[in-house]
């Protein structure tokens, strides 16, 4: 018995030693939705780190009301029960055997430790949060006599959330803007998926962005990019039930992979053709180059200046009846004087046709070579 009592000396475990965020990211000025979310997340990381035999997520329960915590899906069937204060001494019946006494002592000791850890974790979470926020924003929680003595971490968080953490219409419409930001064919397609999923997560608790809306936003974006005309058609032809967000990502990830492969092959083919003609690439008169000599755009009599380097007056496969294979950027021979926008570029200027425009066709329109 004496031996047992010796091993049961109290040991107070400091929960902050296992916190990952020893200082939470400070919130300067008025807290808002985003900064509060971050603060909560950092303390959730901390709470999870403090072991508890009551659940798999350490002391995460302290970051929720008991009701909300137990309503989480992964808790189902195994609700959390808060430890209760076991009192100063073990409760030992007068006629207890020595074994029963030992058991009561050990249990009491364990309960004290557990109860203590629960409360010190709660205090530590509250303290970290208070240090990260300027006092003026939670002063209302101070009791005139007891100060913050009875304040619980979750009440502190709820107060800030209710007072400063509401998303307003501006936040939500900016979120939609971020979701619909134009995607460029030069960017990884994953970036488009990410921006949409991020927007969904942001609005989740406020103004839900449905799966249908997500798919529609991505479709519009890809449509504007002009990069997937055929794959869009294929997608539209699928049965409505298959138009899920996951299927969308699978479909267009594959389509993009194929698109990138084709572009590389086309470029390689173009270089081959150029070298076969033993003509330095730089001399190709259909191509517009940047300062490094890299081809950027190509000219076609029937289609104007556009981004497909394999498409020129010479190679065009869908020609105007007066098509002229000699038409180049510097000598369009009366061909189409249109510059195609980069996919994803939003038009601001709109062409207004004028009745005074006149045009004649034919080779006589070519500028005489000097
Ligand atoms: Zn053409």
Q: 193, 198, 156, 154: which is closest to 176 by C-alpha?
A: 198
Measured in Å, residue 304 CA sits from the centre of ligand 1 at 7
Query: What is the distance in A from the centroid of ligand 1 to the CA of 297?
Result: 13
Q: Look-up: residue for tokens 């189409």?
A: 336
Å from CA of 33 to ligand 1 middle: 52
| C-alpha separations of 302 from 6, 259, 316 in Å | 95, 24, 8
Using an 8 Å Cβ cutoff, are 289 and 282 in contact? yes
Q: Tell how far the Cα of 222 is from the centroid of ligand 1, in angstroms.
A: 23
Question: Which residues are close to ligand 1, an ion, with C-beta < 5 A?
Answer: 300, 302-303, 316
User: Cα(332) to centroid of ligand 1, in Å?
Assistant: 13
pLDDT tens-digit map of 158-208: 999 999 988 778 888 889 999 999 888 888 999 999 999 999 988 887 789
**For 8-59, what is each residue's pLDDT tens digit?**
766 778 999 999 999 999 999 999 888 999 999 999 999 999 999 998 899 9
- Please report, for residues 59, 208, 224, 251, 259, the alpha-carbon distance to residue 219 in angstroms, rounded to integers and kept in the order given: 43, 19, 9, 12, 17
Nearest CA to 336 among 308, 309, 299? Answer: 299
CA of 322 to the centre of ligand 1 (A): 12
Ligand 1 centroid to residue 323 C-alpha, Å = 9
Place of tokens 């509060």: 36
282, 294 Cβ separation under 8 angstroms: no
Angle formed by the axes of helices 98-132 and 33-49, nearest 10°: 160
- Centroid of ligand 1 to alpha carbon of 300 (angstroms): 5
Q: For residues 247 and 323, give the distance between their C-alpha atoms in angstroms, rounded to a whole number.
A: 42
**294-347: per-residue pLDDT in tens?**
888 999 999 999 988 888 898 888 888 889 888 998 889 899 999 988 877 777
Rounded CA-CA distance 307/232 in Å is 20
């Amino acid at each position: 018995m004496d031996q047992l009592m010796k091993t049961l000396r109290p040991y107070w475990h400091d929960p902050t030693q296992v916190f990952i965020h020893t200082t939470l990211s400070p919130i300067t000025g008025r807290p808002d939705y985003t900064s509060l979310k971050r603060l909560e997340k950092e303390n959730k990381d901390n709470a999870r780190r403090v072991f508890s035999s009551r659940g798999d997520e350490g002391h995460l329960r302290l970051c929720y009301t008991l009701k909300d915590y137990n309503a989480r899906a992964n808790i189902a069937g195994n609700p959390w029960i808060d430890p209760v204060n076991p009192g100063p001494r073990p409760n030992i019946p007068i006629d207890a055997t020595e074994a029963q006494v030992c058991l009561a002592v050990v249990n009491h000791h364990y309960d004290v430790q557990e109860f203590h850890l629960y409360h010190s974790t709660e205090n530590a979470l509250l303290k970290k949060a208070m240090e990260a926020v300027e006092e003026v924003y939670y002063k209302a929680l101070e009791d005139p006599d007891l100060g913050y003595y009875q304040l619980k971490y979750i009440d502190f968080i709820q107060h800030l959330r209710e007072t400063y953490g509401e998303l307003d219409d501006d936040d939500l419409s900016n979120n939609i803007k971020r979701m619909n930001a134009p995607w460029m064919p030069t960017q990884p397609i994953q970036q488009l998926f990410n921006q949409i999923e991020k927007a969904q997560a942001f609005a989740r608790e406020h103004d839900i962005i449905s799966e249908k809306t997500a798919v529609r936003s991505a479709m519009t974006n890809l449509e504007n990019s002009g990069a997937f005309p055929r794959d869009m058609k294929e997608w539209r032809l699928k049965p409505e039930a298959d138009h899920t967000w996951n299927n969308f990502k699978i479909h267009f990830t594959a389509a993009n992979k194929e698109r990138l492969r084709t572009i590389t092959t086309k470029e390689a083919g173009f270089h081959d053709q150029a070298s076969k003609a033993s003509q330095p690439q730089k001399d190709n008169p259909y191509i517009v180059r940047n300062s490094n000599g890299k081809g950027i755009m190509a000219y076609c009599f029937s289609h104007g200046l556009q981004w497909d380097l394999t498409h020129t007056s010479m190679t065009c496969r869908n020609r105007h009846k007066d098509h002229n294979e000699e038409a180049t950027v510097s000598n369009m021979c009366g061909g189409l004087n249109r510059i195609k926008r980069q996919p994803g570029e939003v038009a601001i200027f709109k062409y207004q046709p004028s009745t005074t425009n006149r045009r004649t066709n034919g080779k006589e329109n070519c500028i005489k070579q000097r």
